[in-house]
Chain A
């Protein structure tokens, strides 16, 4: 149980275009999901907290108009990278917050974005 999927797993796009990444909790409902970004040989950096039915909370330094987050249902959050630039190329990982006393986070497999 507690499986989180991401789609696509790998995407290449041209500069200036937008790309959408989906994060789904497959066998549980998640009112809260998190989006992280990892550059090569770096840590996972939190970008934003996504709450179902409300606006996302962005970390300092993350442009909310560039990284659009929509958490429209209890099992789906989407991250749209708008007007992508090569420096947006990174590995994007989502996690979904489970219920219960420990509030465990379940991570998706990640999405590799390459902007050419």
Chain B
């Protein structure tokens, strides 16, 4: 039973436009959500996170939105750059100190 779902396996966006990556979850006890960027044969790189008590967190070109009632979060990248092309994983944490639960990832391709 997948607790964290990324239903879009891929997304293609033109350089300069907005990229929106979506993530749904089923466990209402998750207290922290994170987005990671990953290249093949490398470990995940942390991008941005959000606590369950907030609905928005922004860091430069990256903004994460959380809709608790819908159990949905999204990552917005504006403006998108070719260097953003990678696999993006959504992850959630049940409580502090426990392992992260990952979605299956979305491959973002940004064309110039």
Contact = CB atoms under 8 A, between A and B. Distances in A.
Contacts of A41: 105
B99 A110 contact: no
B29 interface: no
Interface in B44-100: 44-46, 49, 89, 93, 96-100
B33 interface: no
Contacts of A21: none
B43 A109 contact: yes
Contacts of A70: none
A88 B36 CA distance: 25
B102 A44 contact: yes
Interface in B18-53: 32, 36, 41-46, 49
Contacts, number: 50
Contacts of A34: 99-100
Contacts of A32: 97
Interface stretch (A12-20, A72-80, A100-108): A100-108
A102 B50 CA distance: 11
Contacts of B100: 34, 46, 95, 105
A49 interface: yes
Q: Which 3 A-B pairs have the closest CB atoms?
A: A107-B43, A103-B96, A44-B102
Given A95-B99, A103-B97, A108-B43, 10 more contacts: A36-B102, A41-B105, A42-B104, A43-B104, A46-B99, A107-B44, A107-B45, A110-B41, A110-B42, A112-B41
14 contacts: A6-B43, A10-B41, A43-B102, A43-B103, A43-B105, A44-B89, A49-B98, A93-B43, A102-B96, A105-B99, A105-B100, A108-B43, A110-B42, A112-B41
